[in-house]
Chain A
Amino acid sequence: MEGPRFKPGERVRVRAEDRPGHIRTPFYVRGKTGWIERVYGDFLNPESLAYGKDGLPEKTLYLVGFDQKEVWGQYLAGSQDKLFVDIYDHWLEPA
């Protein structure tokens, strides 16, 4: 595996994709823009493991940060509040 595609601080957009079956990217965050908070490393792909397959190739897992106001049209109080989601590489694109 080459090094991680994104570095901490880089802006990323979550793919607004719809695919059938087991996926680990919540609906509410798809299509939203945030930043790479942390690179967790490479992990077996749960979207393959869920079907009894080997989970290979491994996918880089990132901790992605979002401003609450970016994720929800309406978010009450706490203008600096943030939301962090663990997202695998193949769900992210540069923003």
Chain B
Amino acid sequence: MSMDRSDVHHAADTGEDHPHPKHELGYYAKRIYAIRDLLIEKGVITQDDIQRQIDYQEARSPANGAQLVARAWADPAFKKRLIDDPKATCAEMGIDATSINEFVVLENTERVRHLVVCTLCSCYPRPILGRPPDWYKSLNYRSRAVNDPRGVMREFGQELPDEVEIRVHDSTADMRYLVLPLRPRGTEGMSEAELAKLVTRDSMIGVVDPLAPQ
């Protein structure tokens, strides 16, 4: 997700040197530039406020979550703390989760898998995982994850036997859910950095298990 900051900064002022001419922007795209300029002119927010939010979001990525998961796999005491007090435990790892109201970690086991959705909106643990993927926000995922979780998982390449219980969480309120995936077999002795590479974004939403070691 690359982003030329200078372009956002000056996008409303100059249409040159941009791959997509500004006049081709859609109705709402034009309006956000207008809203931005008016809010700054009226002193409601500043360009710095906006830039700070861009920088904050760019610093968030599934790598943060993967770091938490790998540490939890490697260190049982850390895992316990992560489940008991996720926000404080994030701070311990230098991950700022203070903007989340409440943060809940759902631990997968051999018998149980969790899947997270927000049917009413698109709530997502952004401070931990960054902006949500397009599919998570899609109307089809929001419609089907609650009553066809196994079908959705199958589309992502995961087929689970009936004996494994699926627990879908619809995050309708202020709780933000992160799935702590099951540590793959054959990873004994791997370092935290190696383990973190197996932890995909989708495995922390719960549609699939983490990658298998090579």
Determine whether A and B are in direct contact in the complex, meaning some CB atoms lie less than 8 angstroms apart: yes
> B44 an interface residue at 8 Å Cβ cutoff?
no
A87–B173 Cα distance when bound, in Å, is 7
**How far does the alpha carbon of A61 sit from the alpha carbon of B167 in the complex, in Å?**
19
Does B150 lie at the interface of the complex (its beta carbon under 8 Å from any beta carbon of A)? yes
Partner of A46, one of B102, B149, B162, B173: B173
A86–B166 alpha-carbon span in the complex (Å)? 17
Say yes or no for A25: interface residue by CB 8 A criterion.
Answer: yes
A1 in contact (CB, < 8 A): no
Which residues of A in the span 51-95 have a Cβ within 8 Å of any Cβ on B?
61, 63, 68, 71-72, 75-88
**Cβ contact within 8 Å between A40 and B147:** no
A28 contacts B172, C-beta separation under 8 Å: no
Which residues of chain B (163-181) have a CB below 8 Å from chain A?
164-175
Docked-complex contact A86 and B147, CB < 8 angstroms: no
* Chain A residues near B146 (CB-CB < 8 A): 26, 28, 71, 83
Q: Is the CB of A79 within 8 A of B162?
A: yes
Interface footprint category on A: 20 to 34
Taking a contact as CB atoms under 8 Å apart, the answer to whether B162 and A78 are in contact is yes
Q: Please tell me the number of chain B residues within 8 Å of chain A, measured between CB atoms.
A: 23
Minimal beta-carbon separation of A58 from chain B (angstroms): 12
- B119 close to chain A: CB less than 8 A: yes
CB distance from A73 to the nearest CB of B (A): 10
Contacts of B173 in A (CB 8 A): 24, 40, 43, 46, 61, 86-88
11 contacts between A and B (CB under 8 A): A25-B172, A61-B174, A63-B175, A68-B168, A72-B147, A81-B167, A82-B166, A82-B167, A82-B168, A85-B172, A87-B172
Shortest beta-carbon distance from B170 to chain A in Å = 5
A76 CA / B151 CA spacing, docked (Å): 9
Q: Which residues of A are found within 8 Å of B148, using beta-carbon distances? A: 76
* Minimum C-beta distance from B150 to chain A (A): 6
B99 within 8 A of A: no
